[in-house]
Amino acid sequence: MNQEELNNKLLEIKDKLIDIEQKANKRIFLPCEAENTYAVNKFLFEDVPLRFVIATGIDSDDYFEILYHYSNDETGCVVTVKAFIRDREKPAIESIAPFLPGAEWIEREIHDLLGIDFKNHPNLRRLILSDDWPEGVYPLRKETKK
């Protein structure tokens, strides 16, 4: 679909988002809270539909962010869902792996490195850290020193 149709489609879930930001010509950001991300992701993957590219985990000082990147292959537009996780003690978010199996491993990696718990994840095991890495030490958190 072209850019206009995409913009119109995105207005359908505007109530779940904080905002729709168009940062550049082919770059759309959809910030939202952690509770709504499951519904937003499901909408983008199944109803629009867009292709899931990858997810990113960020440790901003007051909160965690998880970015889910989707691509509209016809126009080259990349739509990114920005999920804010406000709880720094026990960060948790609902996993999108039940309907998007391609996100399984990237969520495992974010769990390994940032310690974010993904609820309903089918297989939340260690992925990239070594087998004798101590539990509870998350290397990519800002407070972790070597």
Partner 1 sequence: MSWKIKALKKSPWVFHVNVGACNNCDIEIVNCLTPRYDVERFGIKLVGSPRHADALLVTGVGTMQAAIRLREVYRQTSKPCVVFLIGACPCGTGIFSQGYHVAGPVDKIIREVDPNAIIAYVPGCPPKPEAMISGIVKTLAAL
Q: Near partner 1 by CB under 8 A, which window of 6-14, 19-27, 115-123, 125-133?
A: 125-133
Q: Is 129 in the site for partner 1 (CB under 8 A)?
A: yes
Q: Which amino acid is at 99?
A: F
Say if CB 75 and CB 58 are below 8 A apart.
no
Of the candidates 138, 36, 118, 119, which has an alpha carbon nearest to the alpha carbon of residue 83? 36
Shortest Cβ 129–partner 1 spacing (Å): 7
Q: Is 122 in the site for partner 1 (CB under 8 A)?
A: no
Q: Near partner 1 by CB under 8 A, which window of 18-26, 72-80, 102-110, 138-146?
A: 138-146
Q: Is 131 in the site for partner 1 (CB under 8 A)?
A: yes
Q: Is 130 in the site for partner 1 (CB under 8 A)?
A: yes
* Encoded tokens for 109: 């990696």
DSSP string over 95-128: -STTT-GGGHHHHHHHHHHH--EEET-TT----S
* Residues at the site binding partner 1, with contacts judged by CB under 8 A: 128-133, 139, 144, 146
